[in-house]
Amino acid sequence: MRVYENSLDSNLTHWLLHCDRLLLSLKTFGWQQPDWNLVRQGAKIILTHFPILRITLFSDGREWITGRLLPEDLTEKQTNGVVCAVASAEFGRSLPSHKTGNYLSAWLAKTTSQKLNAQEAILIDRAGNWLETSTGNLWGWRDGCWWTPPLTVGILPGIMRSQLIQWLQYQQQQVKEQPWTMNLVKGFEAIAYSNSVVEIIPIHTVKQPAGSLEYNPHHPSLQILRSFFSMTTSPFWYTLR
């Protein structure tokens, strides 16, 4: 999770949403809950040194909190986009409904893509439909509205994804949750991926065995997504709360 304004209580930090997601997984797995006061206390200590926190909970109720810095090239990627490569279908995410510590398949997909001079990988299902990137949820713009794969195809229910869907609907923007078939992705004018750390990263090129697809990383529609991060005092936030 990314901490904004050096505070767990900042609207954009989404502290409660991150804790709720952890709690849901703990209940689903039948694991012991941690002392949530200690989790918050540890997070507050680490955030004084790092803007990104990783909170790991163990089955016996222990917690492990680490921190890291924002990527040095984040602004460049946010501005001009990145290259992605379509990964093999064998690199499926483990337990996609939960954010577990098993990142092996996503890591292998990304490192394999880097050998093709791509910065990210796009995970696919056995039918070749695009699911998500190795680190975030996908967004596409075409026909005057936003598209994102539905959770039912087996993707991580990203916190940033759910917040952006609500934000777009608040802005009276149509959002279609449909599987990303090859016919659909070929018609996108712009695509991007999101997560709680990098916010919005446009994708300008997708490498695939049948040839590369090109998208506009400076498409004006992307500003609609970016505006989410500058509206922390909007009535939208009070509606959510």
pLDDT tens-digit map of 100-141 = 989 999 999 999 999 999 999 999 999 999 999 999 999 999
86 and 132 housed in the same domain:
yes
User: Cβ(142)–Cβ(115) under 8 Å?
Assistant: no
Q: pLDDT tens-digit profile of 168-190? A: 999 999 999 999 999 999 999 99
Number of domains present in the structure of the chain: 2
pTM of the model: 0.94
**Domain for residue 240, yes or no?**
no
Q: Please check whether residues 40 and 79 belong to one and the same domain.
A: no
Q: Which residue segment(s) compose the domain that 215 sits in?
A: 74-230
| Token digits of residue 77 | 């990627």
Place of tokens 């004018």: 189
Task: Point out which residues pair with 193 in neighbouring strands.
Answer: 138, 201
